[in-house]
Amino acid sequence: MPTDDAVERERQGAGTPGTDVTKDGLRGVRPDREAVTGVTTGRPRGGRGRRRRGGETPQVPDATFTSYYAEPVINKPVWEAPDIPGYLFLGGLAGAASLLGAGAQRTGRRRLERSSKVGAVAAGFLSLVGLVHDLGRPQRFLNMLRVFKVTSPMSVGSWLLAGYIPVAGAAAASAVTGRAPRAGAAATVAAATLGPAVASYTAALISDTAVPAWHDGYREMPFVFVGSGATAAGGLGLLTAPVAETGPARALALAGTALELATFERMERRLGMVGEVYSQGRGGAYVRAGTLLSVAGVVGAVLGRRSRVASAVCGAAMLAASAATRWGVFHAGMQSADDPKYTVVPQRQRLEQGEPATGTSTTTRTPAATTAPSEAAEA
């Protein structure tokens, strides 16, 4: 009633116009704004995207698992696109292109040799640039070479790139200028030896994390990555070399695409529920684009193998396919890190099947179990 409101305002004074507290209780109470606790109310607002700064989130977002206000269990990688997916793509391209360049040199395909070697060193260098640019403190990049740790694929990779880029550069310089052919040949062999490692170590790098879609895919990921790298290197050869020399590039792209698609399919199937991120959202879109582009590129390259233009277009499609696959893997991993479901459900399933990862559950339920280890230690 207006008069009561006026009286109330008078009583409270001009300084507190906004208060709802009266002697008779709260004004304007809406029963439905009262927080409900521990009750399923559906998925959090804003869907599958960021929800860290969300509003009211339900305690239990899904009937099959529990989480803490749908907050992710692990911290999402701070790695960013295009730096890191670009780093993955370019490393694969460089490593496989070094093999193609060495083979082209051996079989006397001069144009293919030159473009593969130049492409290899350029991609290797840009891969390193991507890695350095993504650092929180890029000026401290050289701290990567403070230690060598086999437990850190990034340490192994930094040393690999530090060795690979100079030899790939020497091989390319010799191929382009025609000078120092013996040193160039030695550098070519060195680059072709390190190349396969450069093309594959990034799979261990992303798998060696707690990101479910990356870690759980560690069995197939290296094959997906070398397949994708071979597709890219083949694509580069098709794009840059005349049709008389592109036979091996086409064959390499064909083999790479077959390997990539087969192992990717196997990985998705083996991952089960976690594998769904590779077909959903942004990650899924990139993966699908990669599949389409690589299949189209390979089919087009085989059918149009006598046409320079068709070969070049298909080569570009293969490069794009390889990049799309890496972007897809990158974003799928991010999606799996963002949703506690992918962390909690597989771990919970392991426990419920009585098969914790190391045979021992991290949770001790019975007091008796806690005495055994200390007694063993005393004995």
- Residues in region 191-210 near another protein by CB under 8 A: 196-197, 199-201, 203-205, 207-210
Distance CA(99)–CA(88), nearest Å, equals 17
Distance CA(376)–CA(374), nearest Å, equals 5
Residue 3 interacts with another protein (CB under 8 A)? no
Residue among 4, 5, 9, 56 that touches another protein (CB under 8 A): 56
Residue 272 interacts with another protein (CB under 8 A)? no
Residue 100 interacts with another protein (CB under 8 A)? yes
Scan residues 20-39 and list those touching another protein (CB under 8 A).
35, 37-39
Residue among 61, 91, 124, 222 that touches another protein (CB under 8 A): 222
Residue 168 interacts with another protein (CB under 8 A)? no
Residue among 130, 169, 229, 290 that touches another protein (CB under 8 A): 229
DSSP 277-334: GGGSHHHHHHHHHHHHHHHHHHHHHHHTTT-HHHHHHHHHHHHHHHHHHHHHHHHHHH
Interacting span for another protein (CB under 8 A) from 16-24, 220-228, 270-278, 310-318: 220-228
Angle formed by the axes of helices 83-106 and 110-134, nearest 10° = 160
Other CB atoms within 10 Å distance of the CB of residue 87: 26
CB of 17 to another protein, least distance (A): 22
CA distances in angstroms from 105 to 171, 205, 234, 348, listed in the order given = 10, 31, 15, 54
Residue 129 interacts with another protein (CB under 8 A)? no
Residue among 55, 63, 108, 354 that touches another protein (CB under 8 A): 55
Scan residues 74-93 and list those touching another protein (CB under 8 A).
74-79
Helix (H) or strand (E) holding 21: strand 21-22
Distance CA(171)–CA(40), nearest Å, equals 62
SS3 272: helix
Closer residue to another protein, CB minimum distance, 229 or 235:
229
CB of 3 to another protein, least distance (A): 35
Residue 277 interacts with another protein (CB under 8 A)? no
List the one residue out of 108, 132, 86 whose CA is nearest residue 329.
86
Residue 66 interacts with another protein (CB under 8 A)? yes
CB of 370 to another protein, least distance (A): 3
Residue 259 interacts with another protein (CB under 8 A)? yes
Closer residue to another protein, CB minimum distance, 43 or 215:
215
CB of 60 to another protein, least distance (A): 9
Q: What is the DSSP letter of 372?
A: H
Distance CA(327)–CA(86), nearest Å, equals 8
Contacts for 75 with CB less than 8 Å, ≥ 6 apart: 337
Instruction: Tell me the site size for another protein, rule CB under 8 A.
Output: 113
Sketch the per residue contact string, 333 through 362, with another protein: x for CB under 8 A, - otherwise.
Answer: ----x--x--xx--xx-xx----xxxxxxx
Scan residues 138-157 and list those touching another protein (CB under 8 A).
138, 140-141, 143-144, 146-147, 149-155
Sketch the per residue contact string, 297 through 316, with another protein: x for CB under 8 A, - otherwise.
Answer: --------x-----------
Residue 63 interacts with another protein (CB under 8 A)? no
Interacting span for another protein (CB under 8 A) from 121-129, 183-191, 225-233, 283-291: 225-233
Distance CA(301)–CA(311), nearest Å, equals 5
Closer residue to another protein, CB minimum distance, 156 or 289:
156
Would you call the peptide bond into 82 cis, given omega within 30 degrees of 0 as the criterion? yes
Distance CA(18)–CA(353), nearest Å, equals 57
Residue 134 interacts with another protein (CB under 8 A)? yes
SS3 168: helix
